[in-house]
Amino acid sequence: MQMTRKVVETRDGLPFLISGSGTLGWDQVAANLVEPGENVLVLQTGYFGAGFADCIKVYGGKPKVLKAPYGSHIGLEEIEVALRTKKYKAITITHVDTSTGVLSDVKAIAATVRRTSPDTLVVVDGVCSVGSEELKMDAWRLDVVTTASQKGLGVPPGLCILVASPRAIEVFEARKTPVTTYFASWGKWMPVMRAYDNKTAAYFATPPVNLIRAYHASLSEITKLSPSLDERYRIHKQVSRRVKALADQLGLSLVPKDTAYAANGMTAIYLPDGLVASDVVPRMASKGITIAAGLGDAKDKYIRIGHMGTSVVDAERGDIDRIAKSLQASLNEAKNAKKAVVEETP
């Protein structure tokens, strides 16, 4: 519990560690903080923002989606205008949308919200960012940060991690309508989490003990003094610049239109004309490197490379060099294979 607080840099936030995927974090927000009919401003910078909006609707909230142009982010002015036109219970920000690799400026957005509409709860989906992108829950005055075990925290998937600010808990406790979820209900989980905090036992549902142990081990590593969290973020940025430079060098463009808002824990790269993701992903796999195809409508046209956690912080592993070499080789192989097919066609 204490280490979870450390990672998102909060003193008094209440962590909820529940068996489930990152998606369960959306359910917790939509079901516990938003009451039916209340408005939520959803910033959509890719596939995952759309999912969050869908989830809010399921629980009776009214999502208003601000959609960024593909590969771009959402300007602060646009957010400010939206906040002035209507009263929003909450705003949701996908810190890094892993479908596009777009990084949102959570600090600036949160400041804008606090200035323009102070009662609006600031909710950050940090599934793809916690541990690899700078995130300061208290300093930036965020109300909810959700994440999952398998990304920047380097634990096998299956653990949903959410931290709620004291203000968020107050809003939850002041609800007028009953919560309409059972498994994701803070009312059910809060006594359990408070008991964990006091190092006593309580039961609501079986915790994923193995994952919690792995999580504990990984957080012990991440929250140790050296490298500090800030150093970790700096190293992620450094490595990210290398990967982005590599794409540039190979003549490839990034999905994010500007590196100013490109994620530091992953890179989404358009493939050269004539190649699709399935030409490259298996070739990388045969070299021992798992990368992913795109996600969404353009999913064949680009690839997504993760560079977060140990692979990045432990430079001696040489993971990034291997990614660079393998990517270059895979692209060449794929191009040659296509050329061969073209030449054989009479």
Q: What is the contact surface with a second copy in residues (CB under 8 A)?
A: 19-24, 26-27, 30-31, 54-55, 58-60, 148, 150, 156-159, 178-185, 203-211, 295
Nearer to a second copy, 108 or 205 (CB): 205
In the sheet that 302-306 helps form, which strands lie side by side, from edge to edge? Answer: 266-270, 302-306, 292-293
We find the least distance from the C-beta atom of residue 139 to a second copy, in angstroms, to be: 29
Characterise 80 by phi-psi region: left (phi > 0), alpha (psi -120 to 50), beta (else): alpha
Reported for 203-207, long-range contacts at CB under 8 A and 24+ positions apart, including other chains, are: 205/18, 205/19, 206/19, 207/17, 207/19
Beta carbon nearer to a second copy, 202 or 340: 202
Facing residues of 282 across strands?
none
For a second copy, the closer CB: 179 or 269:
179
- By C-beta, is 71 or 294 nearer to a second copy? 294
CA–CA distance, 248 with 242 (Å, rounded to integer): 10
Rounded to a whole number of angstroms, the minimum distance from the CB of residue 180 to a second copy is 5
Residue 155 C-beta: closest distance to a second copy, Å: 10
Minimum distance between the CB of residue 116 and a second copy, rounded to whole angstroms? Answer: 28
State which residue, 123 or 331, has the beta carbon closest to a second copy.
123
Nearer to a second copy, 10 or 100 (CB): 100
- For 123-160, b/e burial (b = at least 16 CB within 10 A) is bbbbbbbbbbbbbbbeebbbbbbbbbbbbbbbbeebbb
DSSP state of 130: B
- Rounded to a whole number of angstroms, the minimum distance from the CB of residue 168 to a second copy is 19
Between the CA atoms of 185, 186, 187 and 192, what dihedral angle is there, to the nearest 10 degrees? Answer: 110
CB of 344 to a second copy, least distance (A): 30
Concatenated DSSP letters of 136-167: -TTTTT-SEEEEETTSTT---S-EEEEEE-HH
Query: What is the smallest separation between the CB atom of 130 and a second copy, expressed in angstroms?
Result: 15
Phi, psi of 332 (to 5 degrees): -60, -45
Q: Give the residue with the Cβ less far from a second copy, 6 or 62.
A: 62
The token pair that represents 224 in the structure block:
């140790």
Q: Which residue has the tokens 């309409």?
A: 180
